C-alpha cells in the first residue's frame, strides 16, 4: 500500500509551487528539484503529467517555469495523486473507471472491504487542499521561507 515516488514527489512539488509562485512568477523546475532533492529530469516527467492533467501551467524559455493552474484552495492532493499514480484503489474492482469484470461483484464480501478502504483514503485526500498544506507548513515553520 505504499505510494510510489511519483505521488510523493508530485505532492511535494505542488506544495513547493504553491509556496514559491507568489503572485504570477513562474518557478523553474530546477529550483523545485533542488529544494525538494528530486532528480530534475525525473521530476520533469512527473510535472509533464500534472500539466497534461491541467494542474499546472508552464512558461517556456528563459525566466520560464511552472505555475499552479488553479488557486491552491482549488487543488486537492487527491487530484495530484490520482494523476500520477492512477486511481487510488486497493483493488482494481473498486477503481473509478473500472469495468466491473468480476462476475460475483454483487455478492463479494472482499469487494465491500476494498470499497471501505478506498472510500476512507479518498475522503482524506479529497478533503485536503494545497492551501491546507501551505497553511500547515507556515504553522510549522513560522515565517521563514522553505
Reading the block at residue 95, the C-alpha cell is 477503481
| Binding site partner of 110, from DNA, a second copy, none, Cβ cut-off 5-8 A by kind | a second copy
Q: Would you say 7 and 77 are in contact if contact means Cβ atoms under 8 Å apart?
A: no
Can residue 17 be called a binding residue for a second copy (CB under 8 A)? no
Q: Which does 39 bind (CB under 5 to 8 A by kind): DNA, a second copy, none?
A: DNA
Task: List the one residue from 10, 13, 66, 72 that touches DNA (CB under 7 A).
Answer: 66
Return the number of the residue (92 or 136) whose C-beta is nearest DNA.
Answer: 92
How open is the CA angle 47-76-90, to the nearest 5 degrees?
85
Q: What does each C-alpha distance from 68 to 49, 72, 121, 146 come to in angstroms?
A: 13, 7, 24, 17
Which of 47, 68, 89, 94 is the binder for DNA (CB under 7 A)? 47
Q: Judged by CB under 8 A, does residue 42 bind a second copy?
A: no
| Axis-axis angle for helices 29-36, 40-52 (nearest 10) | 120
Cβ atoms of 128 and 77 closer than 8 Å: yes
Q: How far is it, in rounded angstroms, from Cα 86 to Cα 95?
A: 9
112 binds, among DNA, a second copy, none (CB under 5 to 8 A by kind): a second copy
Does 25 sit near DNA (CB under 7 A)?
A: no
CB under 8 A: which stretch of 8-16, 21-29, 51-59, 65-73 binds a second copy?
8-16
Amino acid at each position: 500500500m505504499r505510494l510510489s515516488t511519483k505521488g510523493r514527489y508530485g505532492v511535494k512539488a505542488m506544495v513547493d509551487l504553491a509556496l514559491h509562485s507568489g503572485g504570477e512568477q513562474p518557478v523553474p523546475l530546477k529550483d523545485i528539484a533542488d529544494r525538494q532533492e528530486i532528480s530534475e529530469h525525473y521530476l520533469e516527467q512527473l510535472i509533464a503529467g500534472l500539466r497534461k492533467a491541467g494542474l499546472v501551467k508552464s512558461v517556456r524559455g528563459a525566466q520560464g517555469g511552472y505555475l499552479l493552474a488553479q488557486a491552491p484552495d482549488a487543488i486537492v492532493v487527491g487530484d495530484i495523486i490520482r494523476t500520477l499514480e492512477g486511481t487510488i484503489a486497493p483493488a482494481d474492482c473498486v477503481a473509478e473507471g473500472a469495468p466491473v469484470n468480476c462476475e460475483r461483484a454483487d455478492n463479494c464480501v472482499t469487494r465491500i472491504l476494498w470499497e471501505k478502504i478506498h472510500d476512507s483514503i479518498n475522503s482524506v485526500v479529497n478533503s485536503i487542499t494545497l492551501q491546507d498544506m501551505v497553511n500547515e507548513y507556515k504553522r510549522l515553520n513560522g515565517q521563514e521561507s522553505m
